[in-house]
A and B are shown apart, each in its own frame.
Chain A
């Protein structure tokens, strides 16, 4: 039985030695090169700080080098965390407080920023990626712990973003990733002939699908340069030129492309086979734009919190949807159970009854790193199981079943608000607004102090114009009280609409 993701690298590198593995702006690595460099990194880690199960912070610009560093850390039996150079210093500081890493791995360009009295205050060992040479491959220390890693040992800790306060480090073990990726590869029939076009930053767990599907199968992983996302025609041309077969993007990235006219000039029908998305609600109207231009691709709506290794439910788009119809998030993945619980912890099974999505399965996180209190709050005993310990994760997301017994995402529990006596879901308003013609990205927030439904939209509209159209889709009490027009909505580090910033800037 497989106990570590390192075994994937061993097998893939043996099978596809000279095949391209990872590609970024600077160049590419073959699988043999990836393995060699990863082993060198493992050997160096063992030299400077012997032992295993230690957290190692990776402080790099997003690159192929960064993925290889993750694999090197896994070889050494240690745990990686991605720290992005564009993260605010206060956040990095909080992450380091929680993590207490023993080593930093960085690049020549960024090494100088880490150390005593530097931008990132750190007193441990700092390794520079470029200085790690390939001569240590035969060093037995490199693989000292690789074979004795248990599948329950941690692979990575990713910090959840978006909320204020102390970031929580979601601790994920090898088994969680192995089970999740085995499912992805089987469900979507991924092979070595595929190419992934990665959008997600490496501190965002959507990237786990790209990285490890590639590692398991030998498919190419293309790290798409970030600036491409601002130029839809070039972005689509990149997908064609690199024969990208699979993308797993946040809906904001897909929507931006759909709103441009890029599809009129670039033909993706012969190369792109799978369009997967997760992380926020995909506006159905914009998905329909993608489907009309690339009708033969498979589209899948994935859903899940970082706490259950990327995703826990999925829906493969199998029928037509009108622009204002919400897209289901479907049903549970393999080895996962979804429980929809009402406020009295009773199981919701009937259509249209709303409950909180709770989940259990082999991909559940080990907990929050160095934070037993938060772990105990979020990972709780299944209220329907009294005979033995069985942990579920309460997502804080409200869902309901439709008549086909598919799950429909409603909103965050904290996005459900009581507005002038009516219980409303802000997500429902966003879905309706997204379906209107001529409207770009949107986001709906609630001002509790003033009892206002505040709608943020891209473009120039008055409340009257928008509400006239919305009145056909929503009850009177759900119409926005205030409309704020912006040239573009701010995005957070993961590429999702930055609700926290909007709240700070506009909701007093």
Chain B
């Protein structure tokens, strides 16, 4: 799952060391437009429905947080 999440992130914005980044949102690496795309791709890839309530920075700051979010929804 982590590989797929990394592929989605790279498809949205290139040139980021996603594996080691710890504050993708807080540092402004991904902005609200990127997050819309990431959420849409995650929903399609993992057949989940990420709701507005889950659009919190802590759910998207790291790859592991994203993976955990998806697992919690599956």
Verify if B11 is at the interface (C-beta below 8 Å from A): yes
Of the candidates A463, A468, A476, A477, which one forms a contact with B37 in the assembled complex, judged by CB atoms under 8 Å apart?
A463
Verify if B36 is at the interface (C-beta below 8 Å from A): yes
Number of A-B contacts (CB under 8 A): 33
Q: Which residues between 34 and 55 of chain B lie within 8 Å of chain A, taking CB atoms?
A: 36-37, 40-41
Residue of A nearest to B36 (CB): A481
Interfacial chain A residues near B37, Cβ < 8 Å: 452, 463, 481-482
Q: Which residues between 12 and 71 of chain B lie within 8 Å of chain A, taking CB atoms?
A: 12-14, 31-33, 36-37, 40-41
Of A465, A477, A479, A482, most B-chain CB atoms within 10 Å: A482
- How far, in angstroms, from A481 to B31 measured CA to CA in the complex? 12
CB distance from B44 to the nearest CB of A (A): 9
- How far, in angstroms, from A420 to B33 measured CA to CA in the complex? 9
Verify if A464 is at the interface (C-beta below 8 Å from B): yes
- How far, in angstroms, from A452 to B41 measured CA to CA in the complex? 11
Verify if A462 is at the interface (C-beta below 8 Å from B): yes
CB distance from B15 to the nearest CB of A (A): 8
Verify if A451 is at the interface (C-beta below 8 Å from B): yes
- How far, in angstroms, from A462 to B37 measured CA to CA in the complex? 12
Contact present for B12 and A463 (CB under 8 Å)? yes
Interfacial chain A residues near B13, Cβ < 8 Å: 464
Interfacial chain A residues near B10, Cβ < 8 Å: 462, 464
Of B13, B32, B40, most A-chain CB atoms within 10 Å: B40
Interfacial chain B residues near A464, Cβ < 8 Å: 10-14
CB distance from B6 to the nearest CB of A (A): 13
Q: Which residues between 444 and 468 of chain A lie within 8 Å of chain B, taking CB atoms?
A: 450-452, 462-465, 468
Of the candidates A420, A465, A468, which one forms a contact with B32 in the assembled complex, judged by CB atoms under 8 Å apart?
A420
With known contacts A464-B11, A468-B14, A477–B40 Cβ distance under 8 A: no
- How far, in angstroms, from A463 to B32 measured CA to CA in the complex? 15
Of the candidates B12, B14, B33, B40, which one forms a contact with A476 in the assembled complex, judged by CB atoms under 8 Å apart?
B33
Interfacial chain B residues near A476, Cβ < 8 Å: 31, 33
Interfacial chain A residues near B14, Cβ < 8 Å: 462, 464-465, 468
- How far, in angstroms, from A452 to B40 measured CA to CA in the complex? 8
Contact present for B11 and A463 (CB under 8 Å)? yes
Q: Which residues between 214 and 268 of chain A lie within 8 Å of chain B, taking CB atoms?
A: none
CB distance from A428 to the nearest CB of B (A): 16
- How far, in angstroms, from A239 to B32 measured CA to CA in the complex? 51
Interfacial chain B residues near A482, Cβ < 8 Å: 37, 40-41
- How far, in angstroms, from A309 to B13 measured CA to CA in the complex? 47
Contact present for A462 and B40 (CB under 8 Å)? no
Interfacial chain A residues near B41, Cβ < 8 Å: 482
Contact present for A477 and B33 (CB under 8 Å)? yes
Contact present for B36 and A452 (CB under 8 Å)? yes
- How far, in angstroms, from A336 to B54 measured CA to CA in the complex? 55
Residue of B nearest to A478 (CB): B33
Contact present for B11 and A462 (CB under 8 Å)? yes
- How far, in angstroms, from A452 to B33 measured CA to CA in the complex? 9
Contact present for A481 and B11 (CB under 8 Å)? no
Residue of B nearest to A468 (CB): B14
Interfacial chain A residues near B31, Cβ < 8 Å: 476
- How far, in angstroms, from A451 to B31 measured CA to CA in the complex? 15
Interfacial chain B residues near A465, Cβ < 8 Å: 14
- How far, in angstroms, from A477 to B11 measured CA to CA in the complex? 18
CB distance from B14 to the nearest CB of A (A): 4
Contact present for B12 and A451 (CB under 8 Å)? no
- How far, in angstroms, from A285 to B41 measured CA to CA in the complex? 31
Residue of B nearest to A476 (CB): B33
> Residue-by-residue, is A412-449 near B (CB-CB < 8 Å gives 1, otherwise 0)?
00000000100000000000000000000000000000
CB distance from A468 to the nearest CB of B (A): 7
CB distance from A486 to the nearest CB of B (A): 15
- How far, in angstroms, from A476 to B13 measured CA to CA in the complex? 13
CB distance from A449 to the nearest CB of B (A): 11
Interfacial chain A residues near B12, Cβ < 8 Å: 463-464
Which residues of B does A touch, CB under 8 Å? 10-14, 31-33, 36-37, 40-41
Between-chain CB contacts (< 8 Å), 28 pairs: A420-B33, A420-B36, A450-B36, A450-B40, A451-B36, A452-B36, A452-B37, A452-B40, A462-B10, A462-B11, A463-B11, A463-B37, A464-B10, A464-B12, A464-B13, A464-B14, A465-B14, A468-B14, A476-B31, A477-B33, A479-B33, A481-B33, A481-B36, A481-B37, A481-B40, A482-B37, A482-B40, A482-B41
Beyond contacts A481-B36, A481-B37: 18 other A-B pairs, Cβ-Cβ < 8 A, are A420-B33, A451-B36, A452-B36, A452-B37, A462-B10, A463-B37, A464-B10, A464-B12, A464-B13, A465-B14, A468-B14, A476-B31, A476-B33, A479-B33, A481-B33, A481-B40, A482-B37, A482-B40
Which residues of A does B touch, CB under 8 Å? 420, 450-452, 462-465, 468, 476-477, 479, 481-482
8 closest A-B pairs (Cβ-Cβ)?
Answer: A462-B11, A464-B14, A481-B37, A481-B36, A482-B40, A452-B40, A463-B11, A464-B13
